[in-house]
Amino acid sequence: MKTVTSISGGRSSAYMALHYPTDYYVFAVVLTDHQPSTPKDPGLLRECRSRIPHFTASHEADLTLLNVLRLEQEIGQEIKWVAAEYSLDQFILGATQNPGYRAGAVMLPNSRTRFCTVEQKLKPMFWHCFNNVYDGEPMLMNIGFRWDEPDRVDGWTCDKDKFDYPSSCIIKTRRQQYRNIEWRIGNFPLYQDRITRDQVNRFWVQKGWQFPEISNCRFCFHHRPIEQQRQAELEPANLQWWLDMERVTGNRFGKHSLQDIISQALLDVFDHKPCHCTD
């Protein structure tokens, strides 16, 4: 069975990549057309475009992207960067031509309709693995859920290891026909070895690595209000994209608009749920 590590760019998946070697490593990038979010370091931008030619910017912090490059050197093996054909902007504004997708429909992702995760992370990862790794048997994929995240492990079902992909198209109706395939088997080595967040954090402090205060996609609707307020201070350029998307669509990413959240004098005043799309 071939083995693959899913890299998010956060502390846990990086720890997992170093301590639990696999045959392949994959990092899915959430793309945006928002020019102010383009990495300011020309060297970093050059590296991003060498891996994803249509890269303009991403919703990962620059430090996350740098750490993935650094991690590749640390493990001594290529980390394959993958991305969707379309940016998240295009998915939100309905500017896609994907068969079976809401082409022309304007909508925001949220905790119930997480097409940002599906379209920008899971599908690109699936297609890369299916075309380059899959040999007819499911791959064993390491996923960075820790011992102190039992709900994430318990919530994993076999449906998450299956994928409906277009196998043919009826020309007259332009309808896709889909095939269901079990392409991976989720594996959780950090959970199995009882590795906790404190252990992971101590490891990176001892190594002298720095990570973003709030990992993974900036201003994600799964982040707590206090985290979104802090990100507004750290990432004002990227903040504008999220505010613009809510304004253009007339909708909200979460229960409350991001503008309302960052305008609050008191921090962490709204209900929230933990993030389930990062490590």
Q: Please name which of 246, 235, 261 lies closest in space to residue 57, comparing C-alpha atoms.
A: 235
- Residue 127, SS3 per DSSP: helix
pLDDT < 70 stretches in the chain: 98-104, 169-175, 265-279
* Res 48: pLDDT: 98
Phi–psi pair at 12, nearest 5 degrees = -70, -45
160, 222, 272, 248 alpha-carbon torsion, rounded to 10°:
-120
Q: Residue 152 in contact with residue 145, Cβ under 8 Å?
A: yes
Residue-wise pLDDT tens digits, 147-171: 999 999 999 998 999 998 877 766 6
The full length of the chain comes to 279
Q: Is the dihedral of CA 71, 44, 223, 82 positive or negative?
A: negative
Token pair listed for 186: 């989720």
Buried b (16+ CB within 10 A) or exposed e, 194-203: ebeeeebeeb
Residues 6+ apart with CB under 8 A from 126: 163, 165, 183
Phi–psi pair at 15, nearest 5 degrees = -60, -45
| CA 271 centroid distance within chain | 23
Q: Which residues pair with 141 in a beta bridge?
A: 4, 186
* Res 272: pLDDT: 46
Instruction: In whole angstroms, give the CA distance from residue 73 to residue 175.
Output: 44
Token pair listed for 16: 């997992």
* Res 171: pLDDT: 60
For residue 148, the one-letter residue type is: D
Look-up of token digits 């750290």: 234
Instruction: In whole angstroms, give the CA distance from residue 154 to residue 147.
Output: 11
Instruction: In whole angstroms, give the CA distance from residue 223 to residue 261.
Output: 11
pTM assigned to the model: 0.89
